[in-house]
């Protein structure tokens, strides 16, 4: 299956164009991949033949205007959306061959509103996935995850979600996604509804989390409408427009060599300059 997927991706535009790394070229299955994926809602094509590969340990940002297909693509990886055509691969396996509940329990997922269960206290919310997986020490895992996101469990684990600020709720949501130590994290505009100061703090926390590997190496996909956020947090950026992949590249390559007039116009409207890619370069991208 993986040989077929790699062949199709190469036919669709070549390994270099799709950003295939050494692991794909040597036969090791990438953590995430999409092969010629289509999804329609009536007359609207949410995804129109999207193919890409996400490298092990990297953060890929999906950017684009509303209706570009970025959230639809993200949700294909955990089967909150099933494509009409094409193949979606997680850990080398076609997601359509996996039970959706089991698949989701192995993937960290952070929606825009946090998605906390309002009738459960913070500690119980964070313990959710370890408990569902039947792992021992769920409380300890939850406490460690809370500490990682900057929340003292002795202070926060017995609070109700309604007693938290917006930034605290998002920290708890990230802790819940991390508690079972997943190898894949999906983040759907996790900082989009926050005020500017809280958003900057959480962006820095996420960047630090990836750099310090406190929870081990993980691969992540981040949906955002903010190009500056994408450049700050991601190793590569995939630009979507009307369900199609316009370009996928590192921030510096995106600035230096925009592949289409749309990508160039998007960068100009966001007033992106090479300086905006500096934090990413300083942190270091995922290995080739």
pLDDT for residue 267:
93
Domain architecture of the chain: domains with CATH: 2-107+218-283 (3.40.50.300)
Given strand 32-41, what is the order of strands in its sheet?
Answer: 44-54, 32-41, 85-90, 93-94
* Mean pLDDT score, 105-116: 90
Paired sense of beta strands 219-223 and 108-110, if any: unpaired
Tell me which of 107 and 15 has the higher pLDDT.
Answer: 107
Tell me which of 283 and 92 has the higher pLDDT.
Answer: 92
**Model pLDDT for residues 238-280, shown as the tens digit of each residue:** 999 999 999 999 999 999 999 999 999 999 998 888 877 776 6
Q: How far apart are CA 113 and CA 135, in angstroms?
A: 27
**Model pLDDT for residues 54-84, shown as the tens digit of each residue:** 999 999 999 999 999 999 999 999 999 999 9
> For all residues of the chain together, what is the average pLDDT?
85
Q: How far apart are CA 190 and CA 177, in angstroms?
A: 12
Q: How far apart are CA 251 and CA 257, in angstroms?
A: 10
Taking the model in full, what pTM does it have? 0.84
**Model pLDDT for residues 124-141, shown as the tens digit of each residue:** 999 999 999 998 899 999
Paired sense of beta strands 85-90 and 32-41, if any: antiparallel
Cα 43 to the center of its chain, rounded Å: 27
- Residue 209: pLDDT over 90: no
Q: Look at residue 164 and give its three-state secondary structure.
A: coil
């Amino acid at each position: 299956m993986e040989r077929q997927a790699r062949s199709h991706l190469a036919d669709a535009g070549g390994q270099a164009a799709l950003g295939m790394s050494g692991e794909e070229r040597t036969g090791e299955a990438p953590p995430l991949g999409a092969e010629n994926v289509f999804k329609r809602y009536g007359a609207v094509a949410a995804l129109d033949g999207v193919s890409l590969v996400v490298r092990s340990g990297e953060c890929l940002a999906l950017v684009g205007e509303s209706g570009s297909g970025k959230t639809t693509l993200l949700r294909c990886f955990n089967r909150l959306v099933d494509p009409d055509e094409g193949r979606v691969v997680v850990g080398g396996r076609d997601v359509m061959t996996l039970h959706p509940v089991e698949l989701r329990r192995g993937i960290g997922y952070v929606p825009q509103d946090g998605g906390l269960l309002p009738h459960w206290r913070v500690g119980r919310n964070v313990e959710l996935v370890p408990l569902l997986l039947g792992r021992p020490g769920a409380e300890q895992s939850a406490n460690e995850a809370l500490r990682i996101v900057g929340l003292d469990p002795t202070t926060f684990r017995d609070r109700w979600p309604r007693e938290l600020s917006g930034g605290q709720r998002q920290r708890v949501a990230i802790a819940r996604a991390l508690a079972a130590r997943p190898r894949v994290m999906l983040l759907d505009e996790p900082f989009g509804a926050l005020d500017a100061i809280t958003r900057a703090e959480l962006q820095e926390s996420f960047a630090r989390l990836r750099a310090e590997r406190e929870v081990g190496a993980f691969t992540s996909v981040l949906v955002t409408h903010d190009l500056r956020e994408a450049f700050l947090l991601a190793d590569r950026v995939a630009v979507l427009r009307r369900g199609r992949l316009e370009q996928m590249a590192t921030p510096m390559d995106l600035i230096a060599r925009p592949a289409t007039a749309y990508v160039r116009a998007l960068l100009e409207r966001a007033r992106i300059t090479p300086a905006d890619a500096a934090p990413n370069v300083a942190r270091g991208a995922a290995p080739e």
